[in-house]
Chains A and B, each alone.
Chain A
Amino acid sequence: MKAKHLRASVLCAAVMLWALFASAQTSKPPQPEDVVIKNATILTVTHGTIENGSILIHNGKIAEVGKSVSAPANAKVIDATGKYVMPGIIDSHAHLALGDDVNEATSPVTPHMMMLDAFDYTDKAIYHSLAGGVTSEMLLHGSANMIGGQAVIVKNRFGLDREAMLFEGAPRSIKFASGENPKRVYGNRNQMPSTRMGNFAVQRAALQEAREYIRDWDAYNEKAAKGDKDAKAPKRDLKLEALADVLRGKVMVQIHCYRADEFLTEMAIAREFGYKVRAFHHGLEVYKVADKVAAEGVGLATFTDWWGYKMEVWDAIPWNAVISMRKGVKVAIKSDSNDFMRRLNQEAAKTMRYGGATEEEALKMITLNPAWILGVDNRVGSIDVGKDADLAIWNHHPLSSYAIVDKVLIDGTVYFDRSLPGLGLPFWKDAPMSGGGFGGADDEEGVRE
């Protein structure tokens, strides 16, 4: 009996040991060091372009930017002669690394779904987007539900383990949706909602419940604070707790929404319940009511030129981003697709053609503005002293068709280097990657987000 027990322990230990070595990726981020990028054309996004400039990185943060910097003698040097450096691209709407766990389409209200619980840090799509210059993205719940789950925000430190890939300190966001998707998903099952009236009725009802949940807890807390021994705590409800945090302003609201009338309705409901909408996602008709969206301080995470994939995008125009920007909306170009995520620089470049965005405005749409939508613009999104050294180095101007990423740095460490043999990944240990087809987009005729 004892021997058997011992054998089991040995076996168990062996398995653990094996698991330790076999667990593909390393948990410790590489030690930051002093790094200097020299002789580069630096696209700062906030204060113009510096020709033949340098960036000094200390402990993973940008320490100096300018024509010349005071780099210590032992700093690692990256010679970027003839190259362009821009802030790492930020995608404010992605579904990669979630496998087929994007939509908990079993109820129109699921605010307690945590995308982190489905996050697959070995997905090849992370590698592909990293190789396209993307350093951070927000992974959102799908749009089947009026109120979907809570986002996870990732830094593409591909090759490290799951915890090391999370954007530490990023604020919480939740996905709301509206329009065709919820009404189609539930209408097909003969459930509410099956119309836009139903959509908003479901949303209001959930928010009202959350209000009452807050009231019950406030009443209890007040009693408990007064030392009332008979005070009975209300039952904890994860769903309502999540929505209560929305109403308390602790979670940013990101709304999938297409039509002009629906932006106005969503903003009215937000005023009614006292929360703020952070951004409309897709928002292909924002150009029709851009002044009102701007007045409310709501951002826009949009495609450049997608249209016609369903009825509510029939009026989409590629000038949407620039018209909205000119009227004061903070605009981001996002992917909603594992494919487009790899070339957001190209999508941003199209805004120069459709509406005449300047280079800096176009770059802002894939850096600082999406950083703001994620609530991390104090950390990333521009080449400024004190920000994280999340940078993409290109062989041409990144807004050109001919631009390819040479290197990507996150916190001053190189996570992708095109010149390396094989995959170009310094930290990826040889292990199977996961990931099948595209995320949000369909490869044939299907409906996108």
Chain B
Amino acid sequence: MKTIKTFLTILTITVLSVTASAQAKKTATPASTAVALKGGKVMTITKGTIENGVVVMENGKITAVGAAGAVTIPKGAKVIDVTGMTVYPGLIDSHTRLGLTEISAVDMTNDTQEPSDPITPQIRVADAFHAESELIPVTRLNGITNAIVSPTNRNTLPGQLSFIQLDGKDRDEMLMVQDLALPLNFNGRQRRNESFANSKFPATRMGVAAQLRQALIDAQDYQQKWADFDKKSAEWEKKPEAERKDKPTPPKRDLKFESLVPYLQGKKPVVLTADTTSDVKVALEMAHEFNLKVILSGVMQAQSMFDEIAATKLPVVLGEIYDTPKPNQRYDAEYSVPAELAKRGVKIAFASYDSHQVRNLPYAAGYAVAFGLPYDEAMKALTINPAEIWGVADKLGSLEVGKMANVVVANGDPLELKTDVKMVFINGHEVPMVSKQTQLRDAYMQR
């Protein structure tokens, strides 16, 4: 009886949430006819800016980009006059929690961390990604079309990331790349040291480092066990039937260690998050020890080693330029980090490290420009750089023929606060400019 009641309650909640999220769910099948955006300022990112340009999209792809007059608009195409507008590729946020949280203070809506164990590489963001989240339409209306979804940095190895498209009819369509990287966090937040009395291992950085090293060694051993087994199995297979005896038995599968193997093999990158020089150094040494492929993230307090970071040629995901500097440090010490890294030739990509405010990503880039980052570098750090870092530059990050038609039209500079986004195309589909928030606005504006 109780079970039935519980079931009914769950059912009711499910029905309610389906109704509540019934915003603008439509097919994401690419438009069948061509669409031409004509007359706008076209920022291709990789091939310069065209003052009076044309972008043609068909079947979800960009089929032509060029100056007005130089591009033939196909017959029957829907031509949209975007004179006075700016046309640019959809922006990419390199660290969000989109689809993992709905209301921060309501625990039942949060799937952002699994704090029971600091080492959880077997966790997959893709398993929890909530495609129907109300946050996604809110975010894409500001021109952000793609994002990395990551757990919070409470765990040292919190689980594997996904790269998402901010439109699609369900999670299958929206999860563009699953399990493409693994965060490796080392900035102190992984310590279980809430209070001296209640602390558990690892309560210090020493503990975090030791635990991580042990996990990587255990994964190496696991990898070796399977390699040995594979070798023995192959030998066994080669033997004539008559001589085959004592068939090798496979080791027990362990999902935690198994998930680390592609990283130990350097097939996938870890996203190494650390803030201070000493943390970055410790974590980088560990990464080298295990031959991990690294994307850096954070580094906001590592100014003293920026030359060294540049020398590693590693890309850096950053964006927490609003973290407060230490006492007696100059107020703009962190605002200027993107400029300082770009000046040294580091490939940077912006991240909001947020959920509800992912939509403000371009403004952080704009503020970095105010503090010395060249404008073109800022635009790249929102588009082609993250596309390259995350291995999707063949599809995203610039307005080029053959790429996916993730295209934004706005009434001004994408990094300016007063600029309003007017149109968003994702995979060639013109996304309705509707979110939970516009619906509330429209409902109450009239009253």
Contacts and interface: CB of A to CB of B under 8 A. Distances in A.
Interface string B359-396: 11001001101110000000000000000000000000
A317 B103 CA distance: 14
A353 B418 contact: yes
Residue among A319, A403, A434 with max Cβ neighbours from chain B (10 Å): A319
Contact of A124 (B106, B327, B360): B327
B445 A323 contact: yes
A8 interface: no
A306 B355 CA distance: 11
Given A125-B324, A323-B444, A404 B437 contact: no
Interface of A: 124-125, 127-128, 131, 180, 287-288, 305-311, 314-319, 323, 338-339, 342-343, 346, 349-350, 352-353, 396, 399-404, 422-424, 432-435, 437-438, 443-447
Contacts of B355: 308
A309 B101 CA distance: 10
A399 B417 CA distance: 8
B324 A310 contact: no
Contacts of A343: 322, 367
Given A315-B440, A447-B104, A401 B366 contact: yes
Given A311-B106, A352-B417, A353-B419, A318 B331 contact: no
A447 B366 CA distance: 27
B417 A309 contact: no
19 contacts: A127-B331, A128-B324, A128-B325, A180-B105, A305-B359, A305-B360, A306-B357, A311-B106, A318-B437, A323-B444, A323-B445, A339-B324, A342-B322, A346-B363, A352-B418, A401-B366, A422-B330, A435-B324, A445-B152
Given A124-B327, A311-B103, A401 B441 contact: no
Given A124-B327, A317-B440, A433-B328, A446 B366 contact: no
Interface string B97-117: 000011111100010100000
B324 A447 contact: no
A224 B285 CA distance: 81
Interface residues of B, number: 46
Nearest to B331: A131
A20 B105 CA distance: 48
Contacts of A127: 331
B152 A444 contact: yes
A181 to B, nearest CB: 10
A54 B344 CA distance: 41
Contacts of A338: 324
Grouping DSSP codes into helix (H, G, I), strand (E, B) and loop, the A interface class, with mixed when no group exceeds half, is loop
Given A308-B104, A311-B103, A352-B417, A445 B324 contact: no
Given A353-B420, A438-B324, A310 B445 contact: no
Contacts of A124: 324-328
Contacts of A311: 103, 105-106
B323 A403 contact: no
A349 B413 CA distance: 14
Interface string B424-438: 000000000000011
Contacts of B205: none
Given A308-B135, A433-B327, A434-B327, A401 B415 contact: yes
Nearest to B416: A401
Nearest to B134: A308
A323 to B, nearest CB: 6
B105 A349 contact: no
Given A352-B417, A353-B418, A401-B370, A310 B327 contact: no
B367 A305 contact: no
Contact of B332 (A131, A288, A306): A131
A316 B104 CA distance: 14
A126 B141 CA distance: 35
Contacts of B419: 353
Given A353-B419, A401-B367, 19 more contacts: A127-B331, A128-B324, A128-B325, A309-B104, A310-B104, A314-B103, A315-B440, A323-B441, A353-B420, A401-B370, A401-B416, A402-B366, A403-B370, A404-B370, A422-B330, A432-B328, A437-B324, A443-B323, A445-B112
B417 A349 contact: yes
Residue among A309, A338, A339, A447 with max Cβ neighbours from chain B (10 Å): A309
Contacts of B323: 443
Given A349-B417, A401-B369, A424 B106 contact: no
Contact of B370 (A180, A402, A446): A402
A199 to B, nearest CB: 17
B151 to A, nearest CB: 11
Given A305-B360, A403-B370, A423 B331 contact: yes
A320 to B, nearest CB: 9
A288 B445 CA distance: 8
B417 A317 contact: no
Nearest to B414: A401
A300 to B, nearest CB: 15
A439 to B, nearest CB: 10
Interface in B185-218: 189
